[in-house]
Structures are given as C-alpha cells and as structure tokens.
Amino acid sequence: MGTGHFFWVIFYFASLCSASLANNAKINFREKEKKVLDQILGAGKYDARIRPSGLNGTDGPAYVSVNIFVRSISKIDDVTMEYSVQLTFREQWTDERLKFDDIQGRLKYLTLTEANRVWMPDLFFSNEKEGHFHNIIMPNVYIRIFPNGSVLYSIRISLTLACPMNLKLYPLDRQICSLRMASYGWTTNDLVFLWKEGDPVQVVKNLHLPRFTLEKFLTDYCNSKTNTGEYSCLKVDLLFKREFSYYLIQIYIPCCMLVIVSWVSFWLDQGAVPARVSLGVTTLLTMATQTSGINASLPPVSYTKAIDVWTGVCLTFVFGALLEFALVNYASRSDMHKENMKKKRRDLEQASIDAASDLLDTDSNATFAMLRQCEVHMQAPKRPNCCKTWLSKFPTRQCSRSKRIDVISRITFPLVFALFNLVYWSTYLFRDEEDE
C-alpha cells in the first residue's frame, strides 16, 4: 500500500514537472526568438554596410533573385508616354551571417519590418518617373530571415514609368512598355540580379485596362556598361494591344458618316445654293473639329499616323464635295450664258432669213434651200465620242454640263471612297507583324 502511494506521488510530481516544462517551453519559444534576433543582429555582431559573401562563402558576387506580382495597371498615357503600375516587389538572397537554430523546426523564420537592420541590394528602377510606398495602415513591407540565412524582402509600391511609344499604326498599334531594374552602386563583381526560376512575373487575373489588353510579358537581362564598371540589370517587357472598338465607335464611324452626308449635296437641285453651301461648309467644319480633337489627345510627333491618313482622306472628300458644288455652279452659269448666246444667234439668223425672203423670189428661195441642204449632206460625219455617248445615257436635263458633273460625282465619290477603305484596311489590318 505504501509502495502504491509512493508511485502515485511520483506520477503526480512528474505530471506537474511535464506541465511546467511545457509551459516554460511555450514561454521560452518567444524568448528564444528574441534571443536569436539579438544574437544575429546585435550591436557589434552584424554590419549592414557589408554585403554578403558569394556562393559557399566565397568572395564572389552575391546573387539576388527577383520576382514581381503586378497588382494593377491604372493608366497608359499616349501624350506623356508613360504608364502607372502597382506591384509587389520581392527580392531573395542568402546571407550566411544570419543563420540561426530553428529549435527543431519550430522557428520557421524571423520577421522584420525595418529594412535598415540588414544589408539590402541597392536596386532602383531606371525608367521610373515617380513612385511611392504604401503606408496604410502600416508600411506594406516585411523582411523574413530563414534558418539557413536566406532573406526575403517584400514591398508594395506604385510606380509611374516611362514608355516610349511608336504611334505610326495608331490606333491599330501594339506598344511595349518595359520595367527595368538595375543596381545603382554595386557592379557585377559584387552583386548580380537574377530572375526567380519558375514564375518570375505574376499578373493579377482580373487585370482590367480601359483601352488596352495585356497580351503577354517577357523577362530578360539588360546589363549596362559604364566607365565605372558593368552593372546588373533586369527587365520585363509588357506587350499591350490597343482596343480598337473604342476608336471605331468614336472616330471611324462618325468620320465615315460625315463623308456620306457631304454626298447629299450631289442629289440636291443646282438652284438650291443656300442648302448645298450650308451642307458643304457644315460637314467641312465638323470634320475639321473632329480632326483637331483627335490630334489634341496625341503627342505632336513628326511622322504620319494611321489615324492621320484616315482623317486626312475624309477631310479631303468633304472638301472635294464642297469644291464640286463650286464647279457645278460655274458650269451652270456657263451653260446659261451659252444658251442665251445661242438664242440670240438664232434670233439674228431668223431675222436675216426674214429680210432675205422679202428680196428674193420663190424660185431663188427654193434654189437656196436646196444648196443649203446639199451642203449639209456633204459634210463629213463626225467620229462618235465614247464618253459623250456614255454620258448621254444619264437622265440629264438638256445634257447640261452642270447636271452631268452631279451625276458623275454620285458614282465617282462613293467608288473612290470604297477603294480607299479597301486599301486602308488591307494595309493596316493584314500587315506583317513588325519585329518587336
């Protein structure tokens, strides 16, 4: 009985000791994390000014793997040739000075929020115009130190980057906007940037752009050599395709409608001068305003864009319709003048014939008429004119030139505009892809 009592007492104390050890272990776990941080980052133990050693502790360059996550692309500006992007930027490297005991796998990593506590690569974005960090609610940055000395640096940033554009095919173009990252002070003898293996660039799935579509992205290296040495550089090229539906609705269809409206004047009467002039001037001014609005939203480049060809030809057609009325008006007045001259000539001839008939007798009149008829029959027949024969088939009024000009314009203008559309869309839609 005494032996059993002694056994239960030992069991009770063993349980208390195990519970106490468990509690101590739980409490000491955070204490251990603090001690590890003090041990590896304490004063006089770690110098953040000294770069890590190379692979396997050698004196070679430190290798930093980079990957980015594109969260959003807010705008792509054609005028200033820039684009704004928000991304999560990550760097990872190994610093053997930061190795620590993981307490049998219970301490997976240490987390820091102060980047100045450890050595950091001096990476900068070479094509950056503006940029800022995100500090709501807390600074969106962290550093993780793993037991093997690996360091992961992650930060969320917003950047406005330069994007030189070639607008020769605008708005049927594709643009390549780059994101370049390079070392500012460390040469390739000390620091080398590498893209992370596997998936170096990720893009959010529901990425939405107002007038562009992100077709694909390509990663590459862009090391640069200067008189101070060679510097490591990474770049990612984002290929954007411009959405054409917006420009079709806002530019191409309205311009086409203005050209067609200008043809209405060909079907109006020649005498409706106010109507035809008002229609021509109104369409011309509207087309000029449309062209000015388009050019205001684009930079003043020195080359001709695809949209310039379209608006220029449409403006030429509208202006041509206005000039056509001027030609019709001139031809109409010329026809009226010729008709008046013919009428006066006929009146004079009739008066001469009447005067002569009073002096000549009936036989003389008969002889004169026979001679006149023989003279007419002896004239050589004129060769038929194909153009006049073709034009005579149109329902023209007294075969006047002004009416024929209108009839020809009704057919010529639409045919030429249709031919232009065929050439234009064949050239820009089915062109060979340029070397990008």
Is residue 396 scored above 60 in pLDDT? no
Q: What is the model's pLDDT at position 436?
A: 42
Q: What is the mean pLDDT of residues 214-232?
A: 92
Q: What is the model's pLDDT at position 391?
A: 53
Is residue 174 scored above 50 in pLDDT? yes
Q: What is the pLDDT of residues 422-434, one digit of tens each?
A: 999 999 888 755 4
Q: What is the model's pLDDT at position 422?
A: 95
Q: What is the mean pLDDT of residues 238-262?
A: 93
pLDDT category, 365, cuts 50, 70, 90? Answer: low
- Higher pLDDT: 352 or 325? It is 325
Is residue 276 scored above 60 in pLDDT? yes
Is residue 173 scored above 70 in pLDDT? yes
Is residue 131 scored above 50 in pLDDT? yes
Percent of the chain exceeding pLDDT 70 equals: 78
Q: What is the pLDDT of residues 9-30, one digit of tens each?
A: 555 555 555 554 444 445 456 7
Tell me which of 154-158, 270-274, 377-381, 427-431 is least confident. Answer: 377-381
Q: What is the model's pLDDT at position 74?
A: 87
Q: What is the pLDDT of residues 71-87, one digit of tens each?
A: 999 889 999 999 999 99
- Distance CA(204)–CA(394), nearest Å, equals 65
Q: What is the mean pLDDT of residues 300-305?
A: 89
Q: What is the model's pLDDT at position 25?
A: 46
Q: What is the pLDDT of residues 37-56, one digit of tens each?
A: 888 887 778 888 889 988 87
Q: What is the mean pLDDT of residues 373-395?
A: 55
Q: What is the pLDDT of residues 287-297, one digit of tens each?
A: 999 888 888 88
Domains of the chain with bracketed CATH: 33-242 (2.70.170.10), 244-335+399-435 (1.20.58.390)
Is residue 402 scored above 50 in pLDDT? yes
Q: What is the mean pLDDT of residues 158-181?
A: 93
pTM of the model: 0.73
Kindly report the average pLDDT of the chain as a whole number.
Answer: 82
Q: What is the pLDDT of residues 304-324, one digit of tens each?
A: 999 999 999 999 999 999 998
